[in-house]
Structure 1
Amino acid sequence: MRVAVAPGWLVVLLVSACAHHSSERPVSTGCSAPGTLCWDFEEGRLPEGWTPFRDEFSGQLLVDDTRARGGRYALHASQLVGGREGEQGGPKKTVRFQLPKDFGPVLWGRVHVYVTPARPASHAGLFNARYPRPGSQDTAFEALDWYEVATYQEKYMAIWHPPEPPGFPEWVQVSDTPLVLDRWACVEWLFDGANGEAPQAAEPRVWLDGVELQWPRRFVFADPPTQTPPTREKARDFTVLEAGVFLYQGLSTPTDWWLDDLAVGPRRVGCE
């Protein structure tokens, strides 16, 4: 399911942070909480600190004015296509961001997503956050544990991973909720890498339009297969974010995703 991917140059226009709000919509309260970071793309270019990362197969990742939840601009994964469904390798277009030092081990997030024209069957990641392994001083991207929000077999999914490559054995949770098509949907998540006195980091939690998703399918993915769940190592500080769209298997239907009003913080951000 996992493949090593070298950073590539994306066709990207840059954007401003969410302090700049259009008069066409109510100002979000998401950035008012201490420690919250948010980006609304209203300058028409990538926000400061975000850099191009993955770039495979056809399509582009850019900030444009083709569709926005509010204001004028959004991050647009445009016409992604390539590879064969059911086989490893698919279109990947992402950017990443280095979090401030001492961000902490708990990361709440929120993004509004619009997808058309079809739900991909392949694993399609939208957002992940990474942290160094316990006791390790290695902060290289490929040495970090990570949580992910994605879709799989047309439904929302969340995963905890060890470092990539290989990124498995991973703990996978698949919902019974289909990916929302042809309208904006608010996706929220909680990655609790501290988890109180528990011996492991918490499983990821995800909300859709304010309703928490349930996970009727839970399993370990590994190659070769195993039934032994990975140990979800606890976090000291989240350090890196990745956003965009990254498919680990092929995509035969050219598909567009728009991401708008992305926010993260140590407390719940909310949809407005």
Structure 2
Amino acid sequence: MHIRIASSSTLLLLTLATACAHAPSGGNPAPATTACAAPAMLCWDFEEGTPPAGWTARRDEFSGQLLVDDTRAHGGRYALHARSLSGGKEGTQGGPKKTFRFDLPAHFGPVLWGRVWVYTTPERPMSHAGLFSARYPRPGHTSGAFDALDWYEVATWQQKYMSIWHPPEPPGFPEWVQVSSTPLVLDAWACLEWLFDGANGDHPEAATPRVWLDGVELDWPQQFVFSDPPTATQPVREKATDFTVVETGVILYQGLTVPTDWWLDDLAIGRQRLGCGSD
């Protein structure tokens, strides 16, 4: 594990480096930096062989485990492994959920870039499978309980990559959903990058999430509002002051009948793009 925000001097750099926090929300993104070569970044390579310091268990539902082991790794020996997840019934709410959370340093800022390598086998799930999310207090608040925060998510659904902006959970909707035309990479390592821009310049709302696969930005031919009961009214994407907590692992919001494994490795987040180079 490499945590670059570890000292008071680095925390100061995090607080002061506001120029790095306002990445563009449209057009070409800022060029990628070498992973964790710059300050104000957090990186985890899992090479201790145990969950990293500061990570706490968040969700544990249905069958399977979330652990750090040496069964498969993108780099080095170890990776985070969501092992043999199963449970519930496809098409109905309720599925296996195994995650850790990590509280970000104070004054992280309203823009969060991320990168993780993911390996999935043996099948692409049809159900909604969340991989990473980041949360922030609603406008006018400097903190809040986990279930009172707005949040961005990177996931898959119907075997394709997906991104979402959510209001607080529960209920977590109405949510703005974007589904790509790109199938989930199966039986191989894939590099996912994302940009969660909660500042979005002078725009009145936070930006929609952007996601890259192996360096190529995904398109979103399918966009819609999900809500129960249904609505066509888009949620107001409230703007952020600071992201405060992230969550990673695998969350199935509907059932998963085929036991499935995910490995996540070389996870990194920061205030500028990191690219797909490993630490």
TM-score computed with the length of structure 2 as normaliser:
0.88
| Equivalent residues, number | 249
Once residues 267 and 138 of structure 1 are traced to their aligned partners in structure 2, the CA distance between those partners, rounded to angstroms, is: 23
1:161 aligns with 2:155: no
Matched with 2:83 is 78
5 Å-filtered alignment, 1:79-158, equals: 79-158=84-163
Cα drift, residue 137 of structure 1: 3.8
Partner of 2:243: 238
- Deviation per CA, 1:30-64: give whole Å up to 9, x if none: 11112010000001011111111100000000000
Letter of the 1:58 partner, please give it: S
> Under a length normalisation based on structure 1, what TM-score does the superposition of the two structures give?
0.90
Q: Does 1:261 align with 2:266?
A: yes
CA RMSD of aligned residues (A): 1.1
Percent identity, aligned pairs only, is: 75
Please list, as runs of the form range in 1=range in 2, the aligned pairs for 1:182-193 lying within 5 A after superposition. Answer: 182-193=187-198
d(CA) in 1 for partners of 2:135, 2:74: 27
For 1:17, the equivalent position in structure 2 comes to 2
TM-fit CA distance, 1:138: 4.2
Mapped pair 1:194 → 2:203? no
Unaligned runs of 5+ in 2: 5-32
Which amino acid is the alignment partner of residue 96 of structure 1? R
Q: Which range moved further: 43-52 or 134-143?
A: 134-143
Q: 5+ residue gaps in structure 1? A: 1-15, 20-27
Query: Contact conserved, 2:3 with 2:41, CA < 8 A, in 1?
Result: no
> What SS does the corresponding residue of 1:113 show, helix, strand or coil?
strand
In the aligned structure 1, how far is the partner of 2:275 from the partner of 2:142?
Answer: 33
**Which residue number in structure 1 is paired with residue 22 of structure 2?**
none
What is the DSSP-based 3-state SS (H/G/I as helix, E as strand, rest coil) of the residue aligned with 2:258?
strand
Which amino acid in the other structure matches residue 103 of structure 2? Q
Alignment of 1:61-72 (within 5 A): 61-72=66-77
1:189-212: CA deviations, max 9, x gaps?
000000000000000000000000
Paired with 2:52 and 2:209, the residues of 1 have a C-alpha distance of 26
Indicate the residue corresponding to 1:9 in structure 2.
none
- The residue that corresponds to 1:271 in the other structure is 276
